[in-house]
Structures are given as C-alpha cells and as structure tokens.
C-alpha cells in the first residue's frame, strides 16, 4: 500500500474546468463519496454502517493509506485533493475522486468526524466539523486507515429532508451503492450494516463470483456465466485497449426491472442507457417479455478515451468510442449466452414431488440446472472463451425421437438421458431463425396473390403496419393502403399458408401487436410469423416428422429456448433416472 499523498488546493484554472453541481443529494450519495475515497486510498476492507436510512448515522471505515495529521483539516477545504494537480491530469483521471469537493460538501450539511492514521505514522488524528467549520481536533489511537462518521445529515436543511423517501427506501439505495462497489472491487472486503443488522458481506477474495454471492446470494451467483476478457476476436475493432469482461445471469434468471444490469467503466459504476440496452438486446429472445437480465459488465478503456468530468456525481461518463463499445458488449454477451443457453433439468426431487409415475401425466416444474462457472470467476483472470458463433450443432446433443406425448411433446433419448421437447416451442425456434435470416424473401418464400385481398385494420394495427413496413416487406408481405383503414394484400409469406388470406393476415397482426416488448422490428415480425406458423400443441406427428423436428432444432443457434425465452425442452438426466429407480 502506498502511503498517503499530500493534499493540495487545486489552481483556479483547474477548478474552472470541473463539472460543478450538487454532490450530496441524499444519504446514498454520501456513502458513494466516502466509499470512493476509501477505494482511492487502496483499502482492502471497507465497512459501512448506517442508521435510519443514513439520516442519523453513516460510518465508513477502511484500512487504506490514511491521511497525515497535518493534512486532515485541508481534506475539508473545497477543491483540495491529493489526486490531481494539473489540467492535464483531468484528461486521464485514474482515481474515482478528483475534485476535492465531497468532504466539504458533506461537512456543509451534516456533523462530520474524520479520524485517520497512515501506516507510517506513530499515532492517528481526528477532526470534528459542524456547519463546515472545524470545532475540535486532536490525536487518536487507532489502527492504520480512515474512519468517517456523518451524523444528523440535513439536520439543518429541513427543505432537503422533505425530498427524501422513507428511511428504508434510503437504506435500500445505500445498499445498491455498496453492492455495486462490492461487485466492481471483488478484491476488497465489504460489509454493510443497516440499523445494527448485517445486510451485506463480501469476502474480498478477488473473484467476482464470490462478490456476487455476497450481493445477490449463493443461488443466483451459482447460475452466473462468466464473460472472460476477449482475445483476438475483438482486436479487429479500432478501439485499442478496450476490454469487456463480467458476469451474466443465465436466461432463466431474470428480474422484473432493469436495475440489475451494472456497468463499470474503468471500475467506476456508471449509468448509460445505450450500453444497458446493448446488454438487453443481446438477451432478446431468451427472456420472456417484461423480464430483464442480471449482468455485471466490466469495461476497461485507456483513461484518455473516457471523460469522467461530465457529471457532478460522476455517475455518467463520456466514451470516445461508445459505438464500438456497444458493439463489443452486444457480441460478447450474445456469444456467451448462445454457448450456455441451459436445458431446464427435471430433477429427481421435482419428479418425485409431483407424485407422477408416467411421463404423460407430467405437470412438474422444470428446475433450471445451474450453469457451471469456470474455475476462476474473476473479472480479469478467467481463461479465454471460444470465439462466439461456434458450430451451433454442438449446442445440442444428438437426440433420437421415441414418440409423442399428449400430441404436444416429443419424447427423445440423448446421451445424457431423457428429453421432452415442446413441439410448438421447438418449431417456433426453428422458424424464427429461418425467418430472421431472410433478407428479402425469395420468390418461393413469397406468395403473390392473383387477386389482391382487402383487409380492414384497427387504427393501432395501421400505425404498426406503417411503422414496420420494411420488415414486413422483407418477409414477403405486400400491403398497400386502400382508403380510410383498408389495405390491399398483394402478397404474403408462403409460410402463412392458409386458405383464408384475410383471416391469416389479421391473425398474424394480432400476434404482432402482442409482441410489443420486442423493439427490433425484424425480430418482432420474425417472432410473430414463427408463432403463427409453427406446429401447434395437439397436432399428431409421425416418426419422420419428429425426427425432422429434432434434426432442424439441432441446427439452430439457440436450440434450448423459443424466441420468447421459454424452454423448448426439459431434461431428465440418466443420473436422476438411476437415482429414482434406486440403481445407485
Ligand atoms: P477527492 O476525492 O475528489 O480528492 P474528497 O473531498 O472526497 O475529494 O477528499 C479530499 C481528500 O481527502 C482526498 O483527495 C484524499 O487525499 C483525502 N481522503 C479522503 N478520504 C480518504 C480516505 N478514506 N483515506 C485516505 N485519504 C482520504
Ligand atoms: Mg472523494
């Protein structure tokens, strides 16, 4: 650990370049600033305790390099920092803090006490401030490190208090801040105590998977897939020094809102809509509508390619090459997911639990088999992963169709035991990928009508048809406006194949309307068309058809889920069978 660097006042020129604004909006912003200071001080252990949502008490202590006793009061002066000195430094900030604003801003709205000792100092020292002014200081016996106690936050700013939410809501925000730093810094041991109750703890082992277990719980952590740092594949982009690593929730693991996508740029937790969207897009077709992924994305760039000085709370950054970063994230996330899309595993306990003896009566829940993490889950130390877009056929074992159950599921045998394949979901997957690969529907996939057929659309359908006209065209639809709300259908995709064209088109539009969670137009059309066209449950299949279905499924990129993200198959492993029959 380097010893403490001296704190200096920034020159007026540098101060003038700093993005000004409110640093301390709520208790969580205090925690964020204090934790960032501890990380900048090279701490390996950071303990956070809060009382009543942080309004009564916030205490952050660390074992970092501390502050020299003589510098303690200077730390509370505005624009005094040990982290940069020249304007040039502002172009390549490598620390989380750099403005010398946080401590004075906190001291202006709370009572603060800071005690610190650098490892080479014989003793520590403390300062106590009220309303921004030092009211007491002295020596303090303490281990090396720094401890900051903030009391009565906004005690003299009743107007500010009114804008805060309930203490438990504020405590939840604090937990979010600590969680994110714990994920970004797995080598640091974090703990959070809320109103005396330990609420979060990470071991500081250096493995992100361990930090994720502390933050999200063991069960979630076990089903996280690792994105290891890229190799040659991404060297092709012209962003030198860009790396993307992290952890991804396997698709069955999803959340009802998008706050579980955590982005870090050079280990700074940031918000960025486009990059969050890049992650969500990569999950398209793997999660059901309204569900969002869990992801921890660790982006590293040369400091000169990132401008961190654009937002007062430093939660937004400007990237010089956001487009490339977007592309790399999307490809890498997609690559990991397509290699790992899991087969739900029908465990022996679920099997027994349902009390069913025959496959036909099966109503048991599919339990998802946790995907295995590679031995090292560390963001930076995982083995290189194979390049995405690997031979798709290998993602599914070769399956042999045995028969059909309830005219809905195909029973199949594979090297790993028994599989039940949902015929509709499987066919949807096959057709979805086929439709999506059409650029312009070839003549044989497009059915021109001898007589144009009129259809009448609702205003909503009309708006939709206009909005995605191009994607419809690509799939072989030709719809021509014809008066108020009417359209003339001149051609349809051959796959639509029904005698009553008007009815088929309306039914298709119905499905299309419902797929409103799919933002990509081509995907939306392809999903709806696949759903419209796929064989239904209840349709008898002969052995040849079943074989063909499995063969085509094997050739898809993501054979294990339908385009809506539901499983296409469940699995009863050979092991589970042996256990059930007490063969072992
Ligand atoms: P900044 O982090 O932008 O420099 P702050 O107001 O947050 O500004 O902190 C001012 C200075 O106080 C820092 O530059 C650093 O030298 C010192 N400091 C604050 N917290 C700690 C800590 N936990 N450990 C060591 N030094 C600290
Ligand atoms: Mg700071």
Q: Is the pLDDT of residue 185 over 90?
A: yes
**Is 41 within 8 Å of 62 (Cβ atoms)?**
yes
pLDDT digits (tens, 9 = 90+) for 540-569: 999 989 999 999 998 888 888 888 888 899
**Is 112 within 8 Å of 149 (Cβ atoms)?**
yes
Which ligand has an atom closest to residue 106 CA? 1
Our answer on whether the CB atom of 107 is closer than 6 Å to any ligand 1 atom is no
Give the integer Cα–Cα distance in Å for 42 and 65.
7
d(CA 37, ligand 2 centre) in Å: 5
Give the model's pLDDT for residue 395. 65
If pLDDT is split at 50, 70 and 90, which confidence band does 15 have?
low
d(CA 60, ligand 2 centre) in Å: 13
Q: Is the pLDDT of residue 192 over 80?
A: yes
Give the model's pLDDT for residue 364. 26
**Is 313 within 8 Å of 18 (Cβ atoms)?**
no
The total of other beta-carbon atoms located within 10 Å of residue 169's CB is: 12
Task: Give how far Cα 6 sits from Cα of 34, 90, 117, Å.
Answer: 18, 18, 13
- Phi/psi for 206 (5° steps) reads 95, -10
pLDDT digits (tens, 9 = 90+) for 430-488: 999 988 887 666 666 788 888 889 998 888 888 889 889 999 998 999 999 887 778 99
Question: Relative to the CA of 96, which ligand 1 atom is closest?
Answer: 2
Q: What percentage of residues in the chain have a pLDDT greater than 90?
A: 38
d(CA 128, ligand 1 centre) in Å: 16
Which ligand has an atom closest to residue 93 CA? 1
pLDDT digits (tens, 9 = 90+) for 144-155: 999 999 999 999
d(CA 248, ligand 1 centre) in Å: 33
d(CA 465, ligand 1 centre) in Å: 57
d(CA 264, ligand 1 centre) in Å: 21
Give the integer Cα–Cα distance in Å for 291 and 257.
7
H or E element at residue 403: strand 400-405
Give the integer Cα–Cα distance in Å for 350 and 348.
5
Q: Is the pLDDT of residue 279 over 80?
A: yes
Give the model's pLDDT for residue 22. 66
CA-wise closest residue to 62 among 83, 87, 37, 93:
37
Give the model's pLDDT for residue 373. 24
3-state SS class at 346: coil
Give the model's pLDDT for residue 356. 27
Find how far residue 315's CA is from the centre of its chain: 17
d(CA 381, ligand 1 centre) in Å: 30
Give the model's pLDDT for residue 19. 56
Q: Which of 395-399, 465-469, 498-502 has the highest mean pLDDT?
A: 465-469
Ligand 1, atom 23: closest residue by C-alpha: 38
Which ligand has an atom closest to residue 8 CA? 1
| β-pair type (189-194, 45-51) | parallel
* Mean pLDDT over each residue of the chain, to the nearest integer: 82
Our answer on whether the CB atom of 98 is closer than 6 Å to any ligand 1 atom is yes
Our answer on whether the CB atom of 576 is closer than 6 Å to any ligand 1 atom is no
Give the model's pLDDT for residue 444. 63
Ligand 1, atom 18: closest residue by C-alpha: 37
Give the integer Cα–Cα distance in Å for 468 and 523.
11
DSSP string of 42-97? T-SEEEEEEEGGGTSEEEEEE-S----GGGTGGGGSTTEESS--SGGGGGG--SS-
Our answer on whether the CB atom of 66 is closer than 6 Å to any ligand 1 atom is yes
Q: Which of 9-13, 15-19, 369-373 has the highest mean pLDDT?
A: 9-13
Find how far residue 17's CA is from the centre of its chain: 33
Q: Which residues pair with 138 in a beta bridge?
A: 126
Q: What is the CA radius of gyration of the chain?
A: 29
Ligand 1, atom 13: closest residue by C-alpha: 81
Range with the lowest mean pLDDT among 56-70, 101-115, 311-325?
A: 311-325
If pLDDT is split at 50, 70 and 90, which confidence band does 388 have?
very low
Our answer on whether the CB atom of 38 is closer than 6 Å to any ligand 1 atom is yes
């Amino acid at each position: 650990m380097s010893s403490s660097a001296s704190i200096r006042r920034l020159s007026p020129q540098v101060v003038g370049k700093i993005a000004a604004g409110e640093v301390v909006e709520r208790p969580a912003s205090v925690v964020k600033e204090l934790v960032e200071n501890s990380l900048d001080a090279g701490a390996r252990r950071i303990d956070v305790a809060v009382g009543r949502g942080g309004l009564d008490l916030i205490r952050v202590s660390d074992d970092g390099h501390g502050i020299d006793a003589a510098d303690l009061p200077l730390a509370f002066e505005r624009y005094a920092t040990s982290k940069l000195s020249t304007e040039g430094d502002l172009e390549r900030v490598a620390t989380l803090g750099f403005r010398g604003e946080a401590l004075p801003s906190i001291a202006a709205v709370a009572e603060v006490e800071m005690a610190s000792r650098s490892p080479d100092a014989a003793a520590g020292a403390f300062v106590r401030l009220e309303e921004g002014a030092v009211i007491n200081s002295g020596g303090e016996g303490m281990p090396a490190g720094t401890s900051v106690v903030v009391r009565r936050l906004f005690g003299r700013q009743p107007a500010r208090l009114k804008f805060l939410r309930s203490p438990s809501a504020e405590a939840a925000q604090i937990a979010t801040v600590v969680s994110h730093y714990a994920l970004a810094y797995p080598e640091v041991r974090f703990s959070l105590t809320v109103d005396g109750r330990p609420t979060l703890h990470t071991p500081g082992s250096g493995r992100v998977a361990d930090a994720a277990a502390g933050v999200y719980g063991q069960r979630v952590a076990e089903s996280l897939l690792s994105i290891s740092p890229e190799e040659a594949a991404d060297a092709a982009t012209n962003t030198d020094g860009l790396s993307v690593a992290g952890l991804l929730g396997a698709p069955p693991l999803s959340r009802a809102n998008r706050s579980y996508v955590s982005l870090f740029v050079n280990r700074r937790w940031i918000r960025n809509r486009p990059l969050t969207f890049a992650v969500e897009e990569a999950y398209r077709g793997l999660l059901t509508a309204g569900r969002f992924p869990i992801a921890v994305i660790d982006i590293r760039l040369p400091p000169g390619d990132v401008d961190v000085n654009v937002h007062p709370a430093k939660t937004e950054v400007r990237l010089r090459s956001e487009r490339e970063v977007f592309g790399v994230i999307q490809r890498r996330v997609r690559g990991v997911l397509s290699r790992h899309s899991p087969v739900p595993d029908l465990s022996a306990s679920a099997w027994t639990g349902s009390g069913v003896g025959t496959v036909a009566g099966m109503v048991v829940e599919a339990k998802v088999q946790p995907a295995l993490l590679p031995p090292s889950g560390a963001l930076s130390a995982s083995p290189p992963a194979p390049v995405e877009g690997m031979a798709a056929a290998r993602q599914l074992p070769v399956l042999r169709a045995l028969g059909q159950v309830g005219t809905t599921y195909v029973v199949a045998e594979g090297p790993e035991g028994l599989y039940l394949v949902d015929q509709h979901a499987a066919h949807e997957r096959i057709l979805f990928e086929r439709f999506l690969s059409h650029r312009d529907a070839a003549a044989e996939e497009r059915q021109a009508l001898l007589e144009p057929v009129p259809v009448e659309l609702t205003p909503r359908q009309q708006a939709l048809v206009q909005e995605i006209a191009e994607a419809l065209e690509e799939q072989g639809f030709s719809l021509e406006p014809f008066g108020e709300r009417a359209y003339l259908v001149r051609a349809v995709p051959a796959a639509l194949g029904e005698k009553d064209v008007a009815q088929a088109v309306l039914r298709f539009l119905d499905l299309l309307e419902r797929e409103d969670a799919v933002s990509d137009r081509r995907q939306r059309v392809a999903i709806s068309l696949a759903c419209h066209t796929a064989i239904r449950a209840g349709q008898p299949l002969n052995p040849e058809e079943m074989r063909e279905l499995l063969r085509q499924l094997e050739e898809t990129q993501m054979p294990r889920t339908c385009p809506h993200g539901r499983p296409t198959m469940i699995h009863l492993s050979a092991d589970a069978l042996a256990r059930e029959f007490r063969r072992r």
